[in-house]
Amino acid sequence: MICRPASVSLRVLALALAASSTVGCANLSRIGDIGSAPGLTHIEDPTTQPGYRPVSLPQPMPQEVEAAPNALWRSGARAFFKDERAKQVGDVLTVNVNIQDQGNISDETKRSRQNSEDAATPNFLGLESWYQYFLPKTVDPKNLVHATSDSSNDGKGSVNRNEQIQIKLAAVVTQVLPNGNLVIQGRQEVRVNFEVRELLIQGVIRPEDIDSTNTIDSSKVAEARISYGGRGQITDVQQPRYGQQLYDLVFPF
């Protein structure tokens, strides 16, 4: 069965409309926010969220801790009576998010190629006189094939990036790994007028990296996932329309 151009166009249009309707349905809940500030999310247990996954990392063999008899000072404690640092599920600690990233990349690639091919058979075992019977009359045995090609490419690219984020965020211990490392997750939302700023951090830390003020630097968070963004009217204006995003995604040229 051969599809006609009209039917193919209708099918493409139907797929585009279906995709756009799917994107639109996913954002119907935002229609109720028109004319009002976006709402903040409720404080919930992060381990009960749909996208939550317990962390599993390579672990060393467990070692027994030998308690020192008749000792008033506990090993690893920062206080005489009690260690105030986070160490179990539900404890809170402060994370200093300090990101200063700068990168400059410049690259240029040039490529060119020229080809030339010639072929002739003025004498070929005396059969050159038979060319006229199976080749066009305009064929010249001295110039049977002459082909040339010329291609060139010039590509340039550059990246100039300068990012800086400095903020403090409280995180909650959500899991204690067998080797004693802590899995943390923190989320902060700040609403200013009609824009909500969101900061999210996840990762794995070592208890010994937590200082005496129950604070840890973001550079000591392993498998760190740091997200800083927003949602609201300003973010909506900065983003292309959904139709334009769909067009950029499916249009091949």
Supply the pLDDT for residue 96: 94
Sign of CA dihedral 207, 208, 210, 211: positive
Give tens-digit pLDDT for 30-58.
666 666 666 767 777 888 888 888 888 77
User: Which residues contact residue 119 at a Cβ distance below 8 angstroms, ignoring those fewer than 6 apart?
Assistant: 144, 145, 146
Q: Is residue 33 part of a domain?
A: no
Smallest Cα–Cα separation from 186: which of 53, 96, 56, 87?
A: 96
What is the DSSP pairing of strand 145-176 with strand 92-119?
Answer: antiparallel
Sequence length of the chain is 253
Q: Is residue 117 part of a domain?
A: yes
- Flag whether pLDDT at 231 surpasses 80: yes
Q: Which residue has the higher pLDDT, 220 or 73?
A: 220
Work out the average pLDDT over 118-141: 72
Q: Is residue 131 part of a domain?
A: yes
Residue with tokens 């260690």: 83
Q: Is residue 72 part of a domain?
A: no
- Flag whether pLDDT at 27 surpasses 60: no
Q: Is residue 16 part of a domain?
A: no
Supply the pLDDT for residue 19: 54
Local confidence band at 1 (pLDDT 50, 70, 90 cut-offs): very low
**Would you give the DSSP letter of residue 65?**
P
Q: Is residue 174 part of a domain?
A: no
Q: Is residue 122 part of a domain?
A: yes
Q: Which own/partner contact pairs does 142-148 have at CB distance under 8 Å and 24+ positions apart? A: 143/118, 144/119, 144/120, 145/117, 145/118, 145/119, 145/120, 146/117, 146/118, 146/119, 147/115, 147/116, 147/117, 148/114, 148/115, 148/116, 148/117
- Flag whether pLDDT at 141 surpasses 80: no
Work out the average pLDDT over 222-243: 83
- Does this model's pTM top 0.75? no
Work out the average pLDDT over 118-132: 73
Share of the chain above pLDDT 90, in %: 19
How many separate domains does the chain show? 1
Q: Which domain holds residue 142?
A: 106-157
Smallest Cα–Cα separation from 183: which of 199, 201, 166?
A: 201
**Would you give the DSSP letter of residue 32?**
G
